Amino acid sequence: MTVVDHASFISPEFIIRAATEDWERAGVERLRHQVFVEEQKIFTGNDHDAIDHTAISLVAIATLAAEPADVVGTVRIHQPSPGVWWGSRLAVSPDYRKVGRLGSELIRLAVGTANGCGCHEFHAHVQLQNVALFRRLHWEPVAEVDLHGVPHMHMLASLPYYPAVCNPAVGWLARARRG
Q: pLDDT grade, residue 84 (50/70/90)?
A: very high
Q: pLDDT grade, residue 64 (50/70/90)?
A: confident
Mean pLDDT of 18-36: 97
Inform me whether the pLDDT recorded for 151 exceeds 70: yes
Q: How many domains does the chain have?
A: 1
Lowest-confidence pick of 69-78, 144-153, 169-178 = 169-178
Q: What is the CATH number of the domain that holds 166?
A: 3.40.630.30
Q: Does a structural domain hold residue 6?
A: no
pLDDT for the residue numbered 1? 53
Mean pLDDT of 83-97: 96
Inform me whether the pLDDT recorded for 164 exceeds 70: yes
Angle at CA of residue 172, ends 170 and 176, nearest 5°: 150
Mean pLDDT of 147-168: 97
How far, in Å, CA of 89 to CA of 75, rounded? 5
pLDDT for the residue numbered 21? 96
Q: Does a structural domain hold residue 170?
A: yes
Q: pLDDT grade, residue 98 (50/70/90)?
A: confident
How far, in Å, CA of 81 to CA of 78, rounded? 9
Q: pLDDT grade, residue 69 (50/70/90)?
A: confident
CA distances from 130 to 28, 57, 87, 153, 154 (A): 20, 20, 14, 9, 12
CA distances from 175 to 63, 71, 86, 103, 110 (A): 10, 15, 27, 13, 18
β-pairing verdict for 84-92 and 121-127: parallel
Q: Does a structural domain hold residue 140?
A: yes
Q: Which span out of 2-6, 34-38, 171-175 was modeled with the highest average pLDDT?
A: 34-38
Range of the domain at 78: 13-175
Q: Does a structural domain hold residue 7?
A: no
Inform me whether the pLDDT recorded for 108 exceeds 50: yes
Q: Does a structural domain hold residue 8?
A: no
Q: Does a structural domain hold residue 5?
A: no
Q: Does a structural domain hold residue 51?
A: yes
Sign of CA dihedral 29, 24, 105, 76: negative
Q: pLDDT grade, residue 3 (50/70/90)?
A: low
Inform me whether the pLDDT recorded for 95 exceeds 60: yes
